[in-house]
A and B are shown apart, each in its own frame.
Chain A
Amino acid sequence: MPFSSLLASRSKTDHAKQLKEYFTVIENEQDKERKNYEDAIKNIHKTLIALKDGLFGPRDGSSEPAISDVSQLCSGIYSQELMTTMINNLSRVTFEDRKEIVAIFNNLLRRQVGAKYPAVDHIMQRPGILFKLIEGYDNADIALNCGMMLRECIRVQELADIILKSPDFYKFFDYVQKSTFDIASDAFATFKDLLTKHKSLCADFLERNYDSFFNRYRDLLNSENYVTRRQSLKILSTIILENANLSILKKFSCEIDKFILIYGLFPSEAFSLNTKSGIMTNPMTTSAFDIYKREVFDLFKLLGELLLDRYNFSVMTKYITNTDNLKQQMNLLKEKSKNIQFEAFHVFKIFVANPTKPKAISDILLRNREKLIDFLTTFHTDRTDDEQFNDEKAYLIKQISELKDTKA
């Protein structure tokens, strides 16, 4: 491309400065002539292409961009505040140029100088850039472009932190419910990245904002919109299941079953052995099932640090001790959508597997014991080749059938 080669010979800083000037023209929309505006739009296109070629290298792949040229170009972009300017003018440029801006923006975010990421530092000092991108979901023309740039930003923990700590985060509860399918879907992808990308950050956020978050999240799970229900349940199960690996839990349960089989023959000696090992704490508990239950819980506690992630643990335990959550999941279990049923099963199973269920949770499960057993027995029987699911289902049926009545 002769044009790009011609422009490349000039100083790279001039591109950024020129672009800034052209954007200033289209920003002052009211007091300008039509021809100036159209000329500026054309010049913006040309300069964006030159900027992009400068960052990416020529399109024909003939060479890599020179390091010094790229550094100069990037410095010019930052000094001219072009990131802010490009985002502010996203709705004014053409369809193709919006994509050029996305490509430039995302390329800048990935650029590393030594151990530092200049673009990340730049945005951290100007969090308005993030909030402006979130606002983009309100404009159908630029929503998807902003979504792409947002998800690129969320890749960086410090930037995700800024969004999670701002009230703008709660706008996503509205964006994911938009009637426009593609915008809502894009918002869901961004929403999911915010809640799952950085485990410790997300866990911390959910812990501190448990009530405000989950009160609004229940509305998503009750939405009229099928995709909203299905996608939000999927994100929830990802959050909750982060630290509840039932297959590992089950493996130890199986070991304990063998243990109990032997102990079952000699209850008093079983009691003695437990005190010897230092595990048993309650001398009033004598039945085999109580020993089994306590063993499971002790193993859960002791091995949790080693075997299970600790992220979201407190959020999970808080979630599964709330009766409204159990009721909602049990209702989602009998949704007409099989996919929603299946996702709800994965959340529901944690309520049942919890070794320290509150009485209120146990009471609900007990009241519905027969119905649950019948329901689970016939639940998704077509998944014959999903071994883990069938194991989990059998485990739940066993757990529910062995629930004990506890007196008030």
Chain B
Amino acid sequence: MSHFPYLKYEIIDTCKRANTNADENLGSVTYLAYDQKDNKKAKYALKIVDLEKLANLSDFIKDILWYKQLNHYNLMSLRDCFLIDTKLHLVKPYASFGSCADLLCCHPFGIREPLIAHIMWQILQALSYLQDRHIVHRAITSKHIFIYDDGRILLDHFSHCISMISPYDGKLRRHIHDFTDDLKDEILYLAPEIIFQNADGYNFKSDVYSLGMVACELANGSNTYVDMPFGNLSMLYAKMQGSEPILLDETQLTDEMIALSDDNSSAYVDEIRKRRYSKEFHSFVKCCVSAQLESRYSVDELLSHPFLKHLKKISGDPQLIADDMAKILGFYEQPQPTTAATNIDRTIDDSNTTNNSINLSWEF
């Protein structure tokens, strides 16, 4: 256990996260911590970002301010935000199951359909909230969806959020065309119409596509377009050609797939042969990732989809959802915190006492 007089939070452990980009983590370390004044000892994720490592402070701060504009049961919140020297401390609720990406690391062949239904249902609530406020998220990926031990699903990462209200004339737009370089971080999940960059632009249905990509990833165990040849070239080509991701179960298994498989993927083929997703789930995914916008469902239409019928039924009672979720999550072990307590003191000491001071005195 580490203890610093200037920290309001007691650091318990270092959080080791899977599937996080190296550049996203540039200059930041995440710790598991609790508020020293809180007798319940509720856990929080304490992310320490070294602002000295950031070239542009304004953009980063703009991203943080999104947390203060959004307030929903299924959106990540920022409990605390303070600065010590050059280190910015961000305190968020701690997700004991980690992100969906972390969950897939433990379950490489995918997770169960009922859990996916819950995740889809709760993220759709968040998207509905965002849509009411004319906001497109643009970063719905497995690593930005967090699972809590109380069954709550939180959507994080608002730096790619964009308002449909035009910054130029203040009017509500039906389609937007904005594309920034940092959107490339989510390119595996981005809708084809965002990538096209044509006159038609994109809107809320692009978030639906990304959600469908996440559903496929959670079911199949990996992103449909991951590790395609020639970097992103084949992936972009496939999306341009109108390819649509599918759920891999025994109904989709073909002789060609079996013939192409080798010893490395034989276990995966066996897994595919063993499972069978409901036709409602297949339909749900098809409605999400349709390349044709007319065929793709809106958020409101998805909330009424048969795949989520059970959840819509129990949506009136949060306790029922929590109970249902607890049953499902019982199948999944909570990731055990790593015992790196001794390293924390050294890490924090190193980061806080790093000194670039120049031994130079001017003569004035």
Binding site for B on A (CB under 8 A): 56-57, 59, 61, 95-96, 99, 103, 106-107, 109-111, 144, 179, 181-182, 185-186, 188-189, 225-227, 230-231, 234, 323, 327, 330-331, 334, 336-339, 364, 367-368, 371, 375
A144 touching B364, Cβ below 8 Å: no
Give me 9 other A-B pairs in contact (C-beta within 8 A), A103-B165, A144-B68, A181-B81 excluded: A95-B71, A99-B133, A144-B65, A181-B83, A182-B61, A182-B65, A338-B356, A364-B362, A371-B360
A-B contact count (CB 8 A): 90
B68 touching A110, Cβ below 8 Å: no
B86 at the interface (CB under 8 A from A): yes
B355 at the interface (CB under 8 A from A): yes
Task: List residues 126-178 of chain B with CB under 8 A from any CB of chain A.
Answer: 131-134, 165, 169-172, 174
- What residues of chain A lie closer than 8 Å to B169, measured between beta carbons? 110
What are 14 pairs between A and B in contact, CB < 8 Å?
Answer: A57-B172, A96-B71, A103-B165, A107-B165, A110-B169, A181-B82, A182-B64, A186-B65, A331-B362, A334-B358, A337-B52, A338-B52, A368-B362, A375-B358
- What residues of chain A lie closer than 8 Å to B356, measured between beta carbons? 336-338
* Contacts known (A144-B69, A371-B362); A56 close to B355, Cβ less than 8 A: no
A367 touching B170, Cβ below 8 Å: no
Q: Compute how far the CA of A96 lies from the CA of B130 in the bound complex, rounded to whole angstroms.
A: 12
Q: What residue of chain A has the Cβ atom nearest to residue B62's Cβ?
A: A189
- What residues of chain A lie closer than 8 Å to B174, measured between beta carbons? 61
Q: Compute how far the CA of A231 lies from the CA of B83 in the bound complex, rounded to whole angstroms.
A: 14
Q: What residue of chain B has the Cβ atom nearest to residue A179's Cβ?
A: B82
Q: Compute how far the CA of A57 lies from the CA of B134 in the bound complex, rounded to whole angstroms.
A: 12
B172 touching A56, Cβ below 8 Å: yes
Q: Compute how far the CA of A99 lies from the CA of B364 in the bound complex, rounded to whole angstroms.
A: 52
In the complex, per-residue mask of B336-364: 1 if CB is within 8 Å of any chain A CB, else 0? 00000000000000000001111010111
A59 touching B64, Cβ below 8 Å: no
B58 at the interface (CB under 8 A from A): yes
- What residues of chain A lie closer than 8 Å to B362, measured between beta carbons? 327, 330-331, 364, 368, 371
Q: Compute how far the CA of A334 lies from the CA of B361 in the bound complex, rounded to whole angstroms.
A: 9
B83, B85, B171: the one contacting A107 at CB < 8 Å is: B171
A57, A188, A226: the one contacting B85 at CB < 8 Å is: A226
Q: Compute how far the CA of A371 lies from the CA of B361 in the bound complex, rounded to whole angstroms.
A: 9
* Contacts known (A107-B171, A185-B64, A185-B65); A336 close to B165, Cβ less than 8 A: no
- What residues of chain A lie closer than 8 Å to B58, measured between beta carbons? 189, 231
B51 at the interface (CB under 8 A from A): yes
B83 touching A367, Cβ below 8 Å: no
B57 at the interface (CB under 8 A from A): yes
Q: What residue of chain B has the Cβ atom nearest to residue A105's Cβ?
A: B170
B88 at the interface (CB under 8 A from A): yes
B166 to chain A, nearest CB (A): 8
Q: Compute how far the CA of A338 lies from the CA of B363 in the bound complex, rounded to whole angstroms.
A: 22
Q: Compute how far the CA of A336 lies from the CA of B355 in the bound complex, rounded to whole angstroms.
A: 6
A226, A227, A327, A334: the one contacting B364 at CB < 8 Å is: A327
Q: Compute how far the CA of A103 lies from the CA of B170 in the bound complex, rounded to whole angstroms.
A: 9
B52 touching A339, Cβ below 8 Å: yes
Q: What residue of chain B has the Cβ atom nearest to residue A227's Cβ?
A: B83
Q: What residue of chain B has the Cβ atom nearest to residue A186's Cβ?
A: B65
* Contacts known (A56-B165, A189-B58); A375 close to B360, Cβ less than 8 A: yes
A341 to chain B, nearest CB (A): 8
B355 touching A59, Cβ below 8 Å: no
Q: What residue of chain A has the Cβ atom nearest to residue B65's Cβ?
A: A182
* Contacts known (A59-B132, A182-B81, A227-B51); A367 close to B57, Cβ less than 8 A: no
B65 touching A334, Cβ below 8 Å: no
A348 to chain B, nearest CB (A): 11
In the complex, per-residue mask of B30-64: 1 if CB is within 8 Å of any chain A CB, else 0? 00000000000000000000011001011001101
Q: What residue of chain A has the Cβ atom nearest to residue B165's Cβ?
A: A103
Q: Compute how far the CA of A111 lies from the CA of B172 in the bound complex, rounded to whole angstroms.
A: 12
B172 to chain A, nearest CB (A): 4
Q: Compute how far the CA of A171 lies from the CA of B57 in the bound complex, rounded to whole angstroms.
A: 23
A104 to chain B, nearest CB (A): 10
Q: Compute how far the CA of A189 lies from the CA of B171 in the bound complex, rounded to whole angstroms.
A: 23
In the complex, per-residue mask of B254-298: 1 if CB is within 8 Å of any chain A CB, else 0? 000000000000000000000000000000000000000000000
* Contacts known (A181-B82, A181-B88, A371-B360); A56 close to B171, Cβ less than 8 A: yes
B71, B83, B170: the one contacting A106 at CB < 8 Å is: B170
Q: Compute how far the CA of A225 lies from the CA of B88 in the bound complex, rounded to whole angstroms.
A: 11
Q: Compute how far the CA of A181 lies from the CA of B64 in the bound complex, rounded to whole angstroms.
A: 10
Q: Compute how far the CA of A106 lies from the CA of B86 in the bound complex, rounded to whole angstroms.
A: 34
Q: Compute how far the CA of A227 lies from the CA of B85 in the bound complex, rounded to whole angstroms.
A: 9
A110 touching B171, Cβ below 8 Å: yes
- The 3 nearest A-B residue pairs measured at CB: A110-B170, A334-B358, A56-B172
A226 touching B86, Cβ below 8 Å: yes
- What residues of chain A lie closer than 8 Å to B133, measured between beta carbons? 99
- What residues of chain A lie closer than 8 Å to B165, measured between beta carbons? 56, 103, 106-107
Q: Compute how far the CA of A182 lies from the CA of B62 in the bound complex, rounded to whole angstroms.
A: 9
B256 to chain A, nearest CB (A): 43
A54 to chain B, nearest CB (A): 12
A231 touching B57, Cβ below 8 Å: yes
Q: Compute how far the CA of A110 lies from the CA of B165 in the bound complex, rounded to whole angstroms.
A: 11
